[in-house]
Structure 1
Amino acid sequence: MKTIEIDEELYQFIAGQTKHIGEDASSILRRLLNFNQPLLTKADPILAKENHYPIFNDLLTSDTFTNEKSIISRFLLLLGALYNYNPALFSIAATSLHGSKRQYLAKDKQSLETSGKNTKPREIVGTPYWVISNTNTARKLHIIESIMSDMGISESMINQVIHAFLP
């Protein structure tokens, strides 16, 4: 058994996912991450299938996404899809992602406003999260790519999303 340090917000999230008295953190994380299933490797044929991530394929081909010219709106749509794909993994990725002086995502607007000047927090609709929106497109791409990578999403899907992100 290994010991890791996590911040208070992540600890509270994990503790809040307890299904029964005495359930340990490893069991909770295994359940949330579907870790009891065999891990996929790059050699697995399922990764080659386009429909392995139907939520992203559906979003990227939707009229809402393809007709949206605003980078901020596309950014928010992608972050919402990432959350809906796996809220537990999104929470872990969002908690660990930040700049040298700024927080990029938080569960409240005030946390982002106090982490830097002119952050212009925007709510990620359908999620408990807020994200800073006053960043350039390259930083938005970095945020999306980092979250997807931390969530274990395949490199090919990350590339597909990044390519579709720019109108």
Structure 2
Amino acid sequence: MKYIEIDEELYRYIASKTEKIGESASDILRRLLALSVTDSEESQPVTVTVSQPSLESNYQPNSLPDEPEAGATEFQFSQAQLEEQKGAVGRFLYALSSLQQQAPKKFAAVLQVQGRDRLYFARSKDELLQASQSSNPKEIGNSGYWVTTNNNTAKKQAILTEAIQALGCNESVAVALANQALSK
């Protein structure tokens, strides 16, 4: 896996060139640069760290680091696995399970994601059912974390965005990842 660092403006430009739902940044760049895609290139994910360089950093715009900067938070979802899921609930649970696997030590932060009068995440099914009998709780993989699933897709997308932010991503990256997972 290779890593590149791009600034927020470039990330938004690439995202603005999306032509179809689920199109990856790599696909967009290949299309814009008129490059062909081979099977081996499609199967190897690339993680992009989006950051805003500070004046104090040793930021060099032409350098491509071998690994992300210390403290950078990055996540990725397998597009193939997302497409295998049944409906929005399946994609929602897959995305959350993927996040939990990628950041197991930080994942408890999602427990802070709550609605004004609603509990979205808990450590048990009963905790969610006590908060709302209609929550339709589902376990996130085998993580021991549970999530309410009876929200509409737009609300699931908002919850997923907040969860990704709680794990350390900035808002634009969180929105892009949630869109990738739940826009179909």
Coarse TM-score class (shorter-chain normalised): 0.5 to 0.7
Percent of aligned positions that are identical: 24
Q: Which residue of the partner structure matches residue 107 of structure 2? A: 90
> What is the TM-score of this pair, normalised by structure 2?
0.57
The structure-2 alpha-carbon separation of the partners of 1:54 and 1:98, relative to structure 1 and needing over 3 Å to count, comes to: closer
- In 1: Cα distance, 2:74 partner to 2:51 partner: 19
- In 2: Cα distance, 1:60 partner to 1:157 partner: 16
**Aligned with 1:88: secondary structure?**
coil
Greater share of helix = 1
**Aligned with 1:113: secondary structure?**
helix
1:60 aligns with 2:78: yes
> Alignment partner for residue 99 of structure 1, among 88, 92, 115?
115
**Post-superposition CA distance 1:81-103 (Å, at most 9, x none):** 111121232202x2211122221
Question: Rg bigger for which structure?
Answer: 2
8 Å CA contact retained: 1:60, 1:161: no
Offset of residue 156 of structure 1: 4.5
**Post-superposition CA distance 1:60-85 (Å, at most 9, x none):** 32x22124351000000010111112
1:147 aligns with 2:157: no
8 Å CA contact retained: 1:101, 1:116: no
- In 2: Cα distance, 1:156 partner to 1:98 partner: 20
**Aligned with 2:100: secondary structure?**
helix
- The count of aligned residue pairs is 122
8 Å CA contact retained: 2:136, 2:150: yes
Q: Which has the higher contact order (CA 8 A, sep 6+)?
A: 2
Q: Which residue of the partner structure matches residue 46 of structure 2? A: none
> What is the TM-score of this pair, normalised by structure 1?
0.62
- In 2: Cα distance, 1:149 partner to 1:76 partner: 17
**Aligned with 2:119: secondary structure?**
coil
Gaps of 5+ in 2: 1-49, 54-58
Q: CA RMSD in A?
A: 2.8
1:113 aligns with 2:134: no
